[in-house]
Amino acid sequence: MPRTRYVFFALLACLEHLEKTDKKFINECKGWLLCAKNKDGGWGHVANDEDSKLYPTAMTLLVLDRLCLKDELSPGCHWIISHMKADGWGFSQNEPSSPVATAIAIVALRRFKGMDDQLFIKPKERLLIIDTWGVETEDMPGTPWIHCSYMWVFPALTHLGVEPYSKPIAQGVRELNKLNCKDGWKEPSNHLTVRGQFWATFALHNLQLAYDPAVHTYRIDSALSVSNIQEPHFATIFPHSKWSFVLPKFAYQAATYTLLAMSVAAFFGIHRLAQAIPRKAELFLAVGGFLTTYQLIQKRKMLFPGWVLKIAIGVITVLSSIDLVFGLSVSHLFDYVTIAIKRILSQ
Amino acid sequence: MSYHEQLFRAAEWLSSVRNEDKGWGLSAGQASSIVNTAEAVYVLARVPSPVHHSLITDGLNFMQTKTLESARKDAAYPICILRPFGLP
């Protein structure tokens, strides 16, 4: 019979490739996991075994959360919270809390809004002590399952607001970098396995999601930087001009949105307001503005939702198409509209 | 060595150790499993290059087939669990 881990792992991979996956299969996995839930709201290693454990519960919450099943998942969240120990979580009720189990619980719970931050204070303190990080083994049906610390501790800490360049994470990344080899990443036990590649990729990908290249370049380059940590190589650092990273987030966002609005205004024809501006100059300004906006968004992608860029490109495409197909420039179009409105008003 | 360069190396290694059934085992030469194949597909998904797309598609097909097979093996399993997989 499929164990819970088979299904949530299959779903984890499929969710990365929704366009290539049969939707029916995803629904089947979803239905299976929902049916496999125990009466106490958690999941066991085997479906309906009435022996809920942290790992299958947290992993199931992680994958089902991506399918937007919030209501069905709240009993699972409550199960995890109710099984918290003094300073974190253990893999089962009989085991003491451990860094990896604590990190897994945090990663699962932080996906759900409304969690009391007080809940995470002691677990966070515990995770910040890097000496306790290590590989942990859990007995699962069919195999002793190895859990790796960095895979879970990095995302857990960043979910709790710890910067990816903070000392504990940087130290952890340095340890992880020691596992680099010509074929990717080895396991801490020095074996080259698929699992080892997955652990490292999961850890570094989650770290990269918390990483703002502009801010961190500033921290590395600036004379004001107080960090004396050797730079961990976990992401490509793009060159930035000073102004792009010295600006605080809100100022950078405001400047970009203003430029976008001005470019749209130029495209729509500001010459009607300032007669001295020729249309060609206006179009030149508009296109330049759009290109600059694109560059600004690309430099600090994390600060902008994707729809901003889509709208900007959409506006240019639609207006250019009207001009190309109908020979109707935007300024003319708006002139016609203005004249029509004036006529209506005069009547 | 940046993360992306290292990731590309990992992807190259994964493509070299794939089994004939188009799945992955824990390490080179080991029998394919759903979990290891899912792990490999997850890693390949992170590589910003279309070179490995066919490996991903084959891996996804492998997982879907194996998960279904695994469900069918236990006919005595509660109906609620089997029904999503199209079983009676």
Whose CA is closest to A214, among A304, A150, A305? A304
Amino acid making up residue A79: W
- Residue A229: what pLDDT? 37
A35/B74 touch (CB, cutoff 8 Å), yes or no: no
Structure tokens of A306?
Answer: 């994707």
Q: Which residues contact A297 (CB under 8 A, 6 or more apart)?
A: A256, A304, A308, A309
Distance in angstroms (rounded) separating the CA atoms of residues A230 and A174: 9
- Residue A157: what pLDDT? 92
Asked if A199 and A151 count as a contact pair (C-beta separation under 8 A), the reply is yes
The rounded radius of gyration (Å) of the Cα atoms in chain B is: 16
Structure tokens of A301?
Answer: 């992608």
- Give the C-alpha distances (Å, rounded to integers) separating B12 from A19, A167, B3, B52, B53: 23, 32, 14, 9, 12
How far A239 CA sits from the closest chain B CA (Å)? 15
Distance in angstroms (rounded) separating the CA atoms of residues A84 and A260: 48
With contacts defined as CB-CB under 8 Å, which chain A residues touch B28?
A: 192
How far B42 CA sits from the closest chain A CA (Å)? 5
Q: Which residues contact A163 (CB under 8 A, 6 or more apart)?
A: A169, A210
Across chain A, the runs of DSSP E, i.e. the strands, are 136-140, 143-147, 180-181, 184-185
Distance in angstroms (rounded) separating the CA atoms of residues A242 and A261: 24
Taking only the tens place, the pLDDT of each residue in A225-241 is: 444 334 444 444 333 34
10 Å CB burial of residue A318 (0-12, 13-18, 19+) is exposed
Distance in angstroms (rounded) separating the CA atoms of residues A347 and B10: 73
- Residue A269: what pLDDT? 66
Partners of A137 in the β-ladder? A146
CA dihedral A146, A150, A155, A156 (to 10 degrees): 80
| Minimum-distance CB partner of A235 among B3, B12, B74 | B3
| Minimum-distance CB partner of A1 among B3, B41, B74 | B74
Domains and CATH numbers, chain A: 4-221 (1.50.10.20), 247-346 (no CATH)
* H-run or E-run covering A214: helix A213-221
A194/B6 touch (CB, cutoff 8 Å), yes or no: no
- Residue A55: what pLDDT? 92
- Residue A226: what pLDDT? 40
- Tokens 């749209």 belong to A264
- Residue A227: what pLDDT? 41
Alpha-carbon A242 to chain mean position: 26
Tally Cβ neighbours within 10 Å of residue A12: 22
How far A286 CA sits from the closest chain B CA (Å)? 32
Tally Cβ neighbours within 10 Å of residue A69: 15
Q: pTM for the whole thing?
A: 0.68
Structure tokens of B66?
Answer: 């194996």
Q: How confident is the model at residue B22 (pLDDT cuts 50, 70, 90)?
A: very high
A6/B34 touch (CB, cutoff 8 Å), yes or no: yes
A-facing residues of B in 23-82 (CB < 8 A) are 24-28, 34-43, 45-46, 56-57, 59-60, 63-64, 66-67, 70-71, 73-74, 77-78, 80-81
- Give the C-alpha distances (Å, rounded to integers) separating A194 from A13, A115, A144, A197: 14, 34, 17, 5
Q: State which residues of chain A have pLDDT below 70.
A: 1-2, 113-114, 212-248, 269-277, 279, 300-302, 320, 323-325, 327-334
Structure tokens of A210?
Answer: 């918390």
10 Å CB burial of residue A86 (0-12, 13-18, 19+) is exposed
Please tell me if residue A35 touches chain B, with a CB cutoff of 8 Å: yes
B12/A5 touch (CB, cutoff 8 Å), yes or no: no
B-facing residues of A in 13-32 (CB < 8 A) are 13-14, 16-17, 20-22, 25, 27-32
Asked if A235 and A208 count as a contact pair (C-beta separation under 8 A), the reply is yes
Question: HEC profile for A229-295?
Answer: CCCCCCCCCCCCCHHHHHCCHHHHHHHHHHHHHHHHHHHHCHHHCCCCCCHHHHHHHHHHHHHHHHH
Q: Is residue B38 scored above 90 in pLDDT?
A: yes
- Residue B79: what pLDDT? 47
* H-run or E-run covering A199: helix A194-209
- Residue B20: what pLDDT? 94
Mean pLDDT of chain B: 81
DSSP code for A219: H
